[in-house]
């Protein structure tokens, strides 16, 4: 079953929201530097690496190291990292859209297809996979 349907969400509203988020990110990006959304090797490298760095920065705030004494979680700092991850993830979607001519709906449709495959894997419905 489609995860959006399963969760009771309206497909059209979900697609429209994602499309708006991508449009906002492209506009923000253009404020910084024109043509940041083009699928150039430099943009691909810059924004994908930025996403990886932000994920690492968030992870470092979440006490993931078993050998280190845990600290109190800083909610605002974690939300700030989440905002950075979201911005760079959206920017990579904008760039991928430019690279392969994909619409926001194409990206979300691919996500839903892959989610269905992953659910089948995690629930043991694909040979060689099972519950975690």
Q: Nearest CA to 83 among 131, 24, 124?
A: 24
3-state SS assignment for residue 37? coil
pLDDT, tens digit, 9 for 90 and up, residues 59-89: 999 999 999 998 999 999 999 999 999 999 9
| Predicted TM-score (pTM) of this structure | 0.83
Q: What are phi and psi of 34, to 5 degrees?
A: -60, 145
Give the pLDDT of residue 32. 87
Half-sphere CA count of 13, side-chain side, radius 13 A: 5
CATH code linked to domain 12-122:
1.10.287
81-90 long-range CB contacts below 8 Å, 24 or more apart? Answer: 81/54, 81/57, 82/58, 84/54, 84/57, 84/58, 85/51, 85/54, 85/55, 85/58, 87/25, 87/28, 88/47, 88/50, 88/51, 88/54, 89/51, 90/21, 90/22, 90/24, 90/25
Supply the mean pLDDT for the chain: 88
pLDDT score, position 7: 64
């Amino acid at each position: 079953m489609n995860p959006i349907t399963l969760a009771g969400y309206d497909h059209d509203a979900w697609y429209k929201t994602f499309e708006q988020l991508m449009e906002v990110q492209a506009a923000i990006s253009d404020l910084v530097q024109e043509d940041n959304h083009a699928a150039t090797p430099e943009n691909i490298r810059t924004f994908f690496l930025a996403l990886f760095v932000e994920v690492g920065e968030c992870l470092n705030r979440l006490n993931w190291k078993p050998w280190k004494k845990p600290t109190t979680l800083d909610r605002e700092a974690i939300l700030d990292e989440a905002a950075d991850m979201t911005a760079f993830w959206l920017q990579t979607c904008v760039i991928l859209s430019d690279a392969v001519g994909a619409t926001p709906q194409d990206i979300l449709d691919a996500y839903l297809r892959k989610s269905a495959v992953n659910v089948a894997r995690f629930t043991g419905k694909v040979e060689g996979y099972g519950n975690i």
